[in-house]
Amino acid sequence: MSASALVLAACGSDSDSPVDQIEVTSGSQEKAPTISIEETPLTTTETESKVLTEGDGAELADDDIVQVDLAMFNAKDGKAIENSETYTAEPTMLDLSNQEMLPGLSKAIRGTTVGSEGVAIIPPKDLFGEEGMSDLGISGTDNVVLVFDVRRVIPAKAEGEKVAPDSDLPKVTWKEDGPASFDIPDEEAPDELVVEPLIKGEGDKVESGQTVYVTYTGALWRNGEVFDSTQQEGRGPFTFEVGAEQVITAWDEGLEGQTVGSRVLLVVPPEDGYGEEGSPDGSIKGDDTLVFVVDILDAS
């Protein structure tokens, strides 16, 4: 948002559209935006959005991954919902192709341009459903007002200089429309973790404690069979905090120090993967070596 506060009316008060009954006072890097509603409670049956200030960047595609600032308000009274004091402190990554997880967010932002500021009103069915979100004070009948600022589009895949892989390692075939595939060498798997960049990104190095946004495909060394991939239909990028033990040890150790934009091959011995017990569903055995290809899309 602009550094100076700016009152942005969705439009004139003559409109019957719910989103046009919302007035936004733009935020800044020091202060979250605020809203006022002509008459509360404000309700809608479908997600409605309005651009308040149009950005001069590219128009968003329906499958873009975008970084946005979000502020939410309960439409029954206009009060803020868990707004951070600094609006731009923790931008949100949003996969516009994912229509299953909080679909109202992507509906509100689709079709805008990078740099745009806007406001939307979202009905329960497009956000938290009939159960609401009690931790945020939202009931199953509450509509939500969303104020958003589109910062930038995150690349959907690794971008940078290609690196010639070691000939003794699995060969990766990356695919635009599905999981990557692996050509596993006919030999014993390495005993130690192998970290091999395939594309060297030009971004900053990933540090412990950062939240990273990645896509990946994982397979078994013993047969090359894919057991997990964000590239499967209906899936999207995965996020986790590096060094926080939210993922297997190999990911925490192997991705730290790599640069944003990189594609990294990981060959993971059992002790750095799922250990002697293997995976809970039994698809990964206790002695399985794993192979991952990971695209590091962003880190913050």
Encode pLDDT of 278-300 as tens digits: 999 999 999 999 999 999 999 98
pLDDT computed for residue 31 by the predictor: 75
pLDDT computed for residue 6 by the predictor: 43
In a domain, 180, yes or no: yes
pLDDT computed for residue 176 by the predictor: 86
Q: Are residues 139 and 165 in the same domain?
A: no
Give how many domains the chain has, as a whole number. Answer: 2
Q: Are residues 188 and 99 in the same domain?
A: no
pLDDT computed for residue 287 by the predictor: 97
Q: Mean pLDDT over residues 245-270, rounded? A: 98
In a domain, 164, yes or no: yes
82-106 tens-digit pLDDT: 754 445 556 788 889 877 778 999 9
pLDDT more than 90, % of the chain: 77
Query: Which residues have CB under 8 Å from 60's CB, separation 6+?
Result: 66, 96, 109, 110, 111, 112, 113, 114, 150, 153
Query: Contact, 258 vs 207, CB < 8 A?
Result: no
Asked whether the predicted pLDDT for residue 178 surpasses 60, the reply is yes
The whole-chain average pLDDT of the chain stands at 90
In a domain, 82, yes or no: yes
pLDDT computed for residue 3 by the predictor: 34
Residue 140's pLDDT band, with cuts at 50, 70 and 90, is very high
Which residue is listed with tokens 């090359």? 224
* Lowest mean per-residue pLDDT among 63-72, 98-107, 165-174, 190-199: 98-107
Q: Are residues 194 and 116 in the same domain?
A: no
Q: Are residues 147 and 168 in the same domain?
A: no
pLDDT computed for residue 88 by the predictor: 52
CA–CA gap between residue 93 and residue 113 (Å, rounded): 16
pLDDT computed for residue 103 by the predictor: 92
* C-alpha torsion angle, residues 110, 115, 121, 122 (rounded to 10): 40
Which of these three, 132, 153, 174, is where a domain ends?
153
pLDDT computed for residue 15 by the predictor: 63
Q: Are residues 109 and 201 in the same domain?
A: no
pLDDT computed for residue 2 by the predictor: 40
Q: Which domain holds residue 168?
A: 160-299
Sheet strands (E) in 64-106: 65-74, 80-81, 92-95
Q: Are residues 147 and 171 in the same domain?
A: no
pLDDT computed for residue 259 by the predictor: 98
Q: Are residues 149 and 166 in the same domain?
A: no
Q: Are residues 14 and 142 in the same domain?
A: yes
In a domain, 1, yes or no: no
Q: How far apart are the first and last CA of the chain?
A: 19
Q: Are residues 146 and 173 in the same domain?
A: no
Q: Are residues 147 and 253 in the same domain?
A: no
Q: Are residues 190 and 268 in the same domain?
A: yes
Q: Mean pLDDT over residues 23-33, rounded? A: 78
pLDDT computed for residue 268 by the predictor: 99
Query: Contact, 250 vs 151, CB < 8 A?
Result: no
Which of these three, 102, 123, 153, is where a domain ends?
153
Question: For the domain that residue 50 is a member of, what is the CATH number?
Answer: 3.10.50.40
Q: Mean pLDDT over residues 26-45, rounded? A: 86
In a domain, 70, yes or no: yes
Which of these three, 101, 128, 153, is where a domain ends?
153
Q: Which of 25, 28, 79, 72 is nearest to 52 (CA)?
A: 25
In a domain, 149, yes or no: yes
Q: Are residues 11 and 148 in the same domain?
A: yes
pLDDT computed for residue 92 by the predictor: 85
Is the pTM here over 0.85, yes or no? no
Omega of the bond leading into 280 within 30 degrees of 0 (cis): no
pLDDT computed for residue 14 by the predictor: 47
pLDDT computed for residue 7 by the predictor: 47
In a domain, 117, yes or no: yes
Asked whether the predicted pLDDT for residue 210 surpasses 90, the reply is yes
Pairing of strands 211-220, 226-229: antiparallel
In a domain, 36, yes or no: yes
Question: How is residue 165 written in tokens?
Answer: 């892989």
Residue 1's pLDDT band, with cuts at 50, 70 and 90, is very low
Asked whether the predicted pLDDT for residue 193 surpasses 70, the reply is yes
pLDDT computed for residue 4 by the predictor: 34
